[in-house]
Structure 1
């Protein structure tokens, strides 16, 4: 499965470089699906189920974002993926730890202020999405230091957040040189980190 994900990733990057939409459409969801299978093979508990759900939704979102005119549908699908990841992180850590939310709140507020002039009718959907991914990153941070795989989950969540921040800037503020490559590489690294957090023994409450 890991080899399949790598091959698909290379094909997608080739599709980006040579503007091959069909290649991108077929290859883009494969890494997330491969990670979902790997997570499910490794564990059968609630945490793995939630991560598998998030990865499967991400694969669907990958497809939707490659289809012209389906950006909002893709956004909604990834929002649901973040909710699935948040549910996973809440299984074994319910303490609020609001101080760990502060860096993400400041990050997303700064990003919103920067892209706000270009949002237009997308303001509400983008704000709702930002709240979802911000919550996901916060709950990943809330687990850090106390639970198996928490470092991988936090690293993955932050990388996912960086990828989405670049998407927002590139789409709503100003095009960034090489943005598609940075966006997808950060995204894959983020998903891999979140998936890797499922390695190891199950924790209590899962």
Structure 2
């Protein structure tokens, strides 16, 4: 197992422990949350000059995810929309990365369109002023899922990337459910579910990218 994956897992566990032992107001909370993503960023950035276009895009997507994590970890009010916006950009970047060398395959968009529209209709009565930004975000995560499913190569990176996209959708769905549909849901339990699925999604997308990059470099060196 790659060194950065081991470090990622260890520091992810540290943050999960932080969720159940401290609050957002604690000075350790924010660093514990973002260190796993920083590890993945550096895992790609150290190869940045030789990365293919998809690898560079995923690295940039991780940076915007880092911004989103940071905004959402701030205990003061008013940072939800900037956090949502940062993740929206990350999802669009991931969507573009998955689209490279892929066909449109509109039929594969149907399940994501059905899920996104249905989920939005369920959420809509609870969203208030957040209806438009949440609507855009749901569209973005469904677009990412569709583009991950529409990739041409049915290889290990394809399956890792698709799994990452689907788990990302699950993580964001837990956020929406706990924030808008079930406000009485235990916050610690919700946070654990969100972060476990979120970290898993990011490391799957990272692993898909890294695996693909290694394959490309291997071909170039032969």
TM-score by length of 2: 0.85
Deviation at 1:36, TM superposition (A): 1.9
Instruction: Decide whether the 8 Å contact of 1:144 with 1:151 is kept in 2.
Output: no
Instruction: Decide whether the 8 Å contact of 2:101 with 2:152 is kept in 1.
Output: no
Cα deviation code 1:13-65 (max 9, x no counterpart):
12211233222211111111211222344661111100000011111110100
The equivalent of 1:71 in structure 2 is 80
Instruction: Decide whether the 8 Å contact of 1:36 with 1:56 is kept in 2.
Output: yes
- Do the aligned partners of residues 13 and 96 (structure 1) sit closer, same or farther apart at CA in structure 2, a change above 3 Å counting? same
Task: Choose 1 or 2 for highest CA Rg.
Answer: 2
Query: Which whole-Å CA distance do the structure 1 matches of 2:216 and 2:115 have between them?
Result: 32
Matches within 5 A, 1:1-206: 1-21=4-24, 22-41=27-46, 44-67=51-74, 68-69=76-77, 70-93=79-102, 95-143=103-151, 145-146=153-154, 149-175=157-183, 176-177=185-186, 178-198=189-209, 199-200=211-212, 201-202=215-216
Partner SS for 2:29: helix
Which blocks of at least 5 consecutive residues in structure 2 are unaligned? 218-222
Which blocks of at least 5 consecutive residues in structure 1 are unaligned? none
Deviation at 1:145, TM superposition (A): 4.6
Cα deviation code 1:164-192 (max 9, x no counterpart):
01101110111334111111100111111
Partner SS for 1:88: helix
Where is the helix percentage greater, Structure 1 or Structure 2?
Answer: 2
Query: Which whole-Å CA distance do the structure 1 matches of 2:35 and 2:5 have between them?
Result: 10
Partner SS for 2:22: coil
Most deviating of 16-25 and 59-68: 16-25
TM-score by length of 1: 0.91
- Do the aligned partners of residues 15 and 100 (structure 1) sit closer, same or farther apart at CA in structure 2, a change above 3 Å counting? same
RMSD, aligned CA: 2.0
Deviation at 1:115, TM superposition (A): 1.5
